[in-house]
Amino acid sequence: MYVLMIYFKAVYFALLIILIFLLSPKIRRKMKDKSDYEQNLHSLVLFRQILLFFLPLMLSVAIFGVSFAFDQLLSLVVLGLSINVFWVIQLPLLTKAHLSVDFSVDQITDFDTGIKLVPKAKHVIYMRIYNLGFSTLKNGTILMYLGDQFEKNNCRIIPNNDPAYDKLDFKKSFRIQKAHAGVSFTPNDNFITIPPQEWFVFPVIVEISECELDSEVEVEFYSENSWGVTKYHAPIKTKKN
């Protein structure tokens, strides 16, 4: 019986550690395009929460023994519920939003980590934001800065009231920021509430001059129910046609 109890505790803690690792932001970012992983994600999260519910009980058994855990069973159950509530509701408020950001130029079928543009042409930059977290990101604001080099080379952002936007999928309203050649998508102008495992696409039309760009684009995101600003940097370059 004693050996069986040790084995049971070892299996429990091993499963909990494995699940926390598999659901970490780093692994989520690597596995978000794997269909098997994404299809089973909800089950993995549910199983993790069940294991977390029993964490106080298992720790009490491991440290103080079965008799102590049985005497304090009600308190341990309440503590397990509190851990679940904190993990699901409070923890996202204390952490930055976990996102994946990628880009596509002139089409929406092949996204990449950077932006490549052809000089003396107009391009549609599609920015895709994917929610890697497990809570809905409510009323998000997205800012994309194309950088000082973009502005100094007389490249420009086409305002979103241009008729060219009417032909685009995923059209959204934005405001041009004069500083650092930026655009801002706000919840006042768009519906930007991103559920877990969902992505939003934000198209921006730019006009590129005869120049060589070799800089970085910066994306900033914040929402009502996440802590601080999540920042993402990606290369933006020009290439020969």
**Domain-by-domain residue ranges, the chain?**
2-93, 99-238
The C-alpha atoms of residue 184 and residue 145 are separated, in whole angstroms, by: 9
Supply the pLDDT for residue 4: 72
Indicate the class that CATH gives domain 99-238: mainly beta
> How would you classify the pairing of strands 175-177 and 182-185?
antiparallel
Q: What SS3 string covers the chain?
A: CHHHHHHHHHHHHHHHHHHHHHCCHHHHHHHCCCHHHHHCHHHHHHHHHHHHHCHHHHHHHHHHCHHHHHHCHHHHHHHHHHHHHHHHHHHHHCCCCCEEEEEEECCCCCCECCEEECCCEEEEEEEEEEECCCCCECCCEEEEECCHHHHHCCCEECCCCCHHHHHCCCCCCCEEECCCCEEEECCCCCCCCECCCCEEEEEEEEEECCCCCEEEEEEEEECCCCCCCEEEEEEEEECCC
End-to-end CA distance of the chain: 73
Q: Are 194 and 140 in contact (CB under 8 A)?
A: yes
The confidence score (pLDDT) of residue 1 equals 59
**Residue type for 15, please?**
L
**Per-residue model confidence as pLDDT tens for the chain (241 residues):** 566 777 788 899 999 999 999 998 888 888 877 878 888 888 999 999 999 999 999 989 888 888 888 888 889 999 999 999 898 888 888 889 999 999 999 998 889 999 999 999 999 999 999 999 888 999 999 999 998 898 888 889 999 999 999 999 999 999 998 878 899 999 999 999 999 989 999 999 999 988 888 899 999 999 998 999 999 999 999 876 6
Report whether 200 contacts 128 (CB < 8 A): yes
The pTM for the full model equals 0.84
Nearest-angstrom CA–CA distance, 150 and 68: 66
